[in-house]
Structure 1
Amino acid sequence: MTAPATPWPGTPPDAEAEVAPPDPGHGDAGLRERLEAAVAAADAPDAVFAASRHGRRIVCAGGTAPPPPVPRENLRYEIGSATKAFTGLLLAHLVDGGPLTGREPAAALLDPGRGRAAPDAVTLGHLITHTSGLPRLPPGFHARALPAWRSNPYARYPAPLVIDAFLRHRPRHRPGTRWCYSNFGVSVLGHALAAATGTPWEDLLTERVLRPLGLDGTGLAATGPHTDAIGHTKDGDRPVPAFDPGGFQAAGAVRATPHDLLTFLEAHTDPAGSPLAGALHAVRRPLLRRGLGHRHVHTLSWFRHPTDGGPMYFHSGATLGQQAFLGFRPDTGTALAAVCTRRFRAHDPFIAAAYALLAEQ
């Protein structure tokens, strides 16, 4: 059960620890050693662990496969559910600068002919915070995706089906009362934002987030001037097709280079001077708490856990053949992006290693 969500927008600024001043060179050698050890432990064809301290970057790459023609740190990687951090920032930006408030009923945006919204309608804010009452995936998804379960299951569920499933669905719980992680809900949010702005999702994210932050090595489609990394199954031997998100773009379609991911995270660590400064501050504010002792804190975009110095923010993601971890700590000015080209497996050290690295910094 979740604690009552803090009203959004309009939440008070979060009290955060001051950022420690830069200390050039201090601890960099030790950090590099830990990054290199994490790359080796990933046991993946390609792995990159990239860290930034007050803008000073250390990038370590390696893998079990022969080095690709393009350096591993310059490949674009599928980040899966970590895409939601981009989606949350986009929503925060559209609220910060208009034209949205975050309280718009999604159904009214997707089907204006539905008439007046019900008092307990699912809003944009509910969708991004996983409090919409929607399940993880739409009803009937598994049956439709089964023929392509080991190749591209999401590709069999295009946008019209996602929207129709949402408009037909009746949530089990009143929106805003329970937390349930939902790829379905965040995907609906993407379609609702596109409808509200009259702009296709890919163009909307590019114009409002990617371009202002200078993320030239980030996109949604498996095409363009950048070379995409090739994912593999759990054994790391068998390649898998490039991920096709179907109608779930807002929940998992982003591909990015490690350097772009660090740029994205650095903007969150120190928003001052960014064209998205208001939104970057907004996505750091806690909105709801859940779990035993309400230890699990959620913002608009991130999972948030405490450390001795201050909060750390993170999100992970996976596709059929790749994994990613994104995280940052404002108190130490540290950002960490980790990617690898292998599907996760039982007792996988990849995400745990990345989480521990960030917590230690």
Structure 2
Amino acid sequence: MSLRTSRAVRVTGRDGAVSHAEHGPWHAADALASWGSVSKVMVAAVARALVESRALAWSTTVAEVTGDAVPDGVTIGALVEHRSGLPRLLPEQARMIRDPYGPYTNARFDDEVLPRLASLVGLVPGEPEYSNLGYAVLTRVLERSQGAPWVELLRDVVVEPAGLPREAVTLTPGPDAVRARGVLGGVLEEWDLSTGPFSGAGGLWASIATMTTLAGTALDPGSLLDPLSGRTAWVDDRPRFWHNGATLRSGGIVVVDVEAGTVTAAHTVGGLPTSNATQAEKLVADLLGRGAPGAAGPTASAS
């Protein structure tokens, strides 16, 4: 464990102009950072793109795509909105203290998880329950329906249309990415969300500049991330829409204010394990002059 930390904050306007920026010792505007559950906003955008192109429908069920015996209420729309009835995690993941996500490759998920989804639906589909498992299922459904990794689909429908290079987002960052480091400078152990369906629940890496650019498209009426014109994964705290995320060593939050026309993003790394989403929320709260978005509601992190 290390109490050494680094943080970054960035605020942009509707035109993309930067009005505030801070970068700690491990951060740079173009350094890739792990955003945890903010990934869900991007997976939901991919789902929306496929629905709008009529490749899929919000009512498409998991069973229609995978052939597994899953209740009809577990649809793409329900998964996007955390209304599938699936729990936050698989029961066995609670015992995987070191890394609850890395062991689940696509093959293992298809063979061991999808066939038993029916037994995991604890609520009547339609009732809200935040679910990392649900987004892993959604990720796998999108990939299997299109025959392509979800991050490639994201690059097609969100990243390139935003004017960014495809490599601006990744699941497998290089050695220059923002990572927690110990007192001697060595990189500390982190959860592995680089492969498998849980990558869609919390595995996306992007620089803070890229993240504000992508989130800024939510201010464009009718865009795939626009929360006012269709289904998204944003948490509705009007006029602000937000999502946070945490991994073992990193955390972040992105807030879109549709009234002010601003995007605020904060990212922290290091310090106490699983504490970074809270630290990022505090940074944003200081800037916005109010309590951290969602402080009174359910957490939306991958931790």
Short-chain TM bin:
0.7 to 0.9
Indicate how the Cα distance of structure 1 residues 346 and 46 shifts in structure 2: closer, same or farther if over 3 A, else same.
closer
Query: Which residue is 2:129 aligned to?
Result: 180
Indicate how the Cα distance of structure 1 residues 138 and 153 shifts in structure 2: closer, same or farther if over 3 A, else same.
closer
Q: Give aligned pairs, total.
A: 279
CA contact (8 A) 1:285 1:300 kept: no
Structure 2 stretches of 5 or more lacking a match?
Answer: 291-303
Question: Of 164, 167, 173, which aligns to 2:115?
Answer: 167
**In structure 2, C-alpha distance between the alignment counterparts of 1:215 and 1:316, rounded to whole Å:** 22
- The within-5 A match list for 1:338-349 is 338-342=266-270, 343-345=273-275, 348-349=278-279
Q: Any idea what the Cα deviations from partners look like across 1:191-215, whole Å, max 9, x if unmatched?
A: 0011111222232222222222233
Q: Any idea what the Cα deviations from partners look like across 1:294-349, whole Å, max 9, x if unmatched?
A: xxxxx52111113xxxx100000011111111111111111111111124439954
Q: Any idea what the Cα deviations from partners look like across 1:222-251, whole Å, max 9, x if unmatched?
A: 246x83111258x99874235421420111
CA contact (8 A) 1:45 1:236 kept: no
Amino acid at match of 2:55: P
**In structure 2, C-alpha distance between the alignment counterparts of 1:358 and 1:90, rounded to whole Å:** 29
Instruction: State which structure, 1 or 2, has the greater radius of gyration over its C-alpha atoms.
Output: 1
Query: Which residue is 1:215 aligned to?
Result: 164
Query: Which residue is 1:284 aligned to?
Result: 228
**In structure 1, C-alpha distance between the alignment counterparts of 2:229 and 2:135, rounded to whole Å:** 19
Does 2:244 align with 1:316?
yes
TM-score by structure 1 length? 0.69
Query: Which residue is 1:85 aligned to?
Result: 41
Indicate how the Cα distance of structure 1 residues 352 and 189 shifts in structure 2: closer, same or farther if over 3 A, else same.
same
Identity of aligned residues (%): 25
Structure 1 stretches of 5 or more lacking a match?
Answer: 1-42, 272-276, 287-298
Does 2:178 align with 1:229?
yes
Query: Which residue is 2:293 aligned to?
Result: none
CA contact (8 A) 2:252 2:277 kept: no
SS in structure 1 at match of 2:139: helix
Per-residue deviation, 1:96:
1.5
SS in structure 2 at match of 1:153: coil
Query: Which residue is 2:89 aligned to?
Result: 137
Does 2:134 align with 1:206?
no
Indicate how the Cα distance of structure 1 residues 104 and 239 shifts in structure 2: closer, same or farther if over 3 A, else same.
same
**In structure 2, C-alpha distance between the alignment counterparts of 1:242 and 1:62, rounded to whole Å:** 22
Q: Any idea what the Cα deviations from partners look like across 1:275-299, whole Å, max 9, x if unmatched?
A: xx44233x3358xxxxxxxxxxxx5
Question: Of 278, 282, 294, which aligns to 1:352?
Answer: 282
